[in-house]
Amino acid sequence: MSTPEPRASSNPLRAFLVTWVGQLLSLIGSGLTSFALGIEVYKRTGSITKLSLVTFFSIIPFVLVAPFAGALVDRWNRRTVMLISDLGAGICSFLIWCLVAAGEKGFWPLETWHFYLPFGLSGLFAAFRAPALSAATSQLVPKQHLGRANGMIEMAGASSQLISPVLAGALVVHIGLQGIILIDLTTFVFAFGSLLFVRIPSLPRSAESAARKSLRQEVAYGWSFIRTRPGLVGLLVSSTVTNVVLGMVVVLITPLVLSFGDAATLGLILSLAGVGMLLGSIAMSIWGGPKRLVRGALALQLVASLVLFGGALPASTPVVALCAGMFLFTIPLITGTLQSIWQRKVPQEVQGRVFSTKRMIVLAMSPVSSLLSGPLADKLFEPWLAPGGALASSVGLIVGTGKGRGIGFLFVVLGCVMAVNVLITWLSPRVRHIETELPDALPDKPQGNVTRLPETPATEAEPSLPAASGGSQS
């Protein structure tokens, strides 16, 4: 399946940059809707569990569809896949707008469960976009610059984390939830339009791939590739545990802040935390990541685990903002470094299947973490650290008692889980030596019918991504 390739933007790095700008604006728009709806759901229900269910229903379709999406990404042109994904996501935002408009006009009482279907469909389309973007990046960007490119992709998410809460908080008062969703729709249109002006060529299928006619066989190949490489299996297990911790932190930060502040305080803290994530993304896009990728990723994860121990400190805007900012600073560095390993070790023609299988397994526990975070906080940790609770006279002497202190202690527990995960991963020799034991499958220069970049008179010049700050790496 393919669409006519545009003649413009045949330069592969330019194609990456144009695609990145479109995705950046799209993520900011999605962040506006997610933030505004999250506040609305929590204000209506006061339930962490119902808030986490929205996240659950947006992730579960991603997990279920991911293996099939990866196989189709390898069969189809990756630009085409991203076009379909952005179009579908835009339609989902339109459905959410219709629900909100109908509810505000009194056609029916608007309930939280009304959003489950459109969020689920949005997650389904995201299952196609993510592996297509990752595979297209390694196709367009030389492997020595993959860390920087991954940093730019993480920067797009960080910008959403930083800009969206501020804009949503300021705009919701003036244009309401419907207006915010319309802005989201506009960003999807821009992302779709930007892809119409780039060229991401299709890769020729190898004899092995051409012989694999069954979609079921191609879906199974993604797991087969990983399973036969113990280093990748260990890396995958470690990433899954880290993602569970991250998922719970993301869900629990909202009720933690609202335990001592209001929606404006939440928007301020999320924006300040987004500064940390943005700085981490900029650092990754300039730095490119550590030379020893595995060692660097694990060291960064250990730093993130130590930051979570800040949950034991008295909750206040400066404390929570600082800890959240430091934690999110490490996330793009960790993610970009780990993604560089996968992009280097997996052949381009099967990256759709392998990356989708990887994401499916990593994210398979995200719905579980979303479902667990609410009951753990509501039924266990918060009651334990309420005045007179089971842990009030022990742990409460350290972390304090009252509303939100149970969530603070839960952050400490999650920090311990993350630190133990780092230790276990480091003790695995297959993971520790994966960079030397598993040969690179990615060539030094982009391949796959990509127009060659200009050469200097004496030597062939390597293309270089612009640094996030506007400079360039020498």
- C-alpha 259/C-alpha 19 separation (Å) is 40
Q: Which residues have a Cβ under 8 Å from the Cβ of 411 and sit 6 or more positions away?
A: 249, 252, 256, 308, 309, 310, 311
Residues 6+ apart with CB under 8 A from 423: none
What is the amino acid identity at position 171?
L
Helix residue ranges per DSSP H, 288-381: 293-307, 317-345, 351-364, 366-375
For 342, the token pair is 């996968």
Residues counted in the chain = 474
| Tokens representing residue 141 in the block | 């960007």
- pLDDT at residue 462, rounded to an integer: 37
Q: Are 301 and 246 in contact (CB under 8 A)?
A: no
Task: Please tell me the predicted confidence (pLDDT) of residue 161.
Answer: 63
What does the DSSP assignment read for 294-310?
A: HHHHHHHHHHHHHHGGG
Among the listed residues 404, 425, 70, 415, the one whose alpha carbon sits nearest the alpha carbon of residue 252: 404
Q: What is the pLDDT of residue 34?
A: 78
29 and 232 in contact (C-beta within 8 Å)?
no
DSSP string, 151-207: HHHHHHHHHHHHHHHHHHHHHHHHHHHHHHHHHHHHHHHHHHHHHTT---PPPPPPH
* Measured distance CA(407)–CA(368) in Å, rounded: 17
- Say what the pLDDT of residue 448 is: 43
User: In this structure, how many other beta carbons lie within 10 angstroms of the beta carbon of residue 18?
Assistant: 19
The confidence score (pLDDT) of residue 289 equals: 85
Tens-digit pLDDT string for the chain (474 aa): 545 444 444 477 788 888 888 888 888 888 788 777 777 776 777 666 676 677 777 777 777 787 788 888 888 888 888 899 889 888 988 888 888 888 877 676 777 777 788 888 888 888 888 888 888 888 888 877 888 888 888 777 767 766 776 677 777 777 877 888 888 888 888 889 888 888 887 776 554 444 455 667 777 888 899 999 999 999 999 998 998 898 899 889 888 998 888 877 887 887 788 788 888 888 888 888 888 999 999 999 999 999 999 999 998 999 999 999 999 899 889 988 998 899 889 888 888 888 878 878 877 776 677 778 888 998 999 999 999 999 999 999 999 999 899 999 999 999 999 999 999 999 999 999 999 999 888 665 555 444 333 333 333 333 344 333 333 333
Side-chain-side CA neighbours of 275 within 13 Å: the count stands at 10
Q: For the chain, what is the largest distance between any 2 Cα atoms, rounded to a whole number of angstroms? A: 78
The matching CATH number, chosen from 1.20.120.160, 3.40.50.300, 1.20.1250.20, 1.10.357.10, for 12-199+225-437 is 1.20.1250.20
List the alpha helices (DSSP H) in 46-145. 48-75, 78-104, 116-140
pLDDT recorded at residue 218: 75
Burial level of 393, CB count in 10 A (0-12/13-18/19+)?
A: exposed
CB atoms within 10 A of CB 469: 9
The model carries a pTM of 0.69
pLDDT at 123: 80
Residues paired with 466 in a beta bridge: 472
In whole angstroms, what is the distance from residue 112 CA to residue 54 CA? Answer: 8
The whole-angstrom separation of Cα 270 and Cα 278 is 12
Name which of 282, 321, 325, 13 is nearest 156 in CA terms: 282
For the chain, domain boundaries: 12-199+225-437
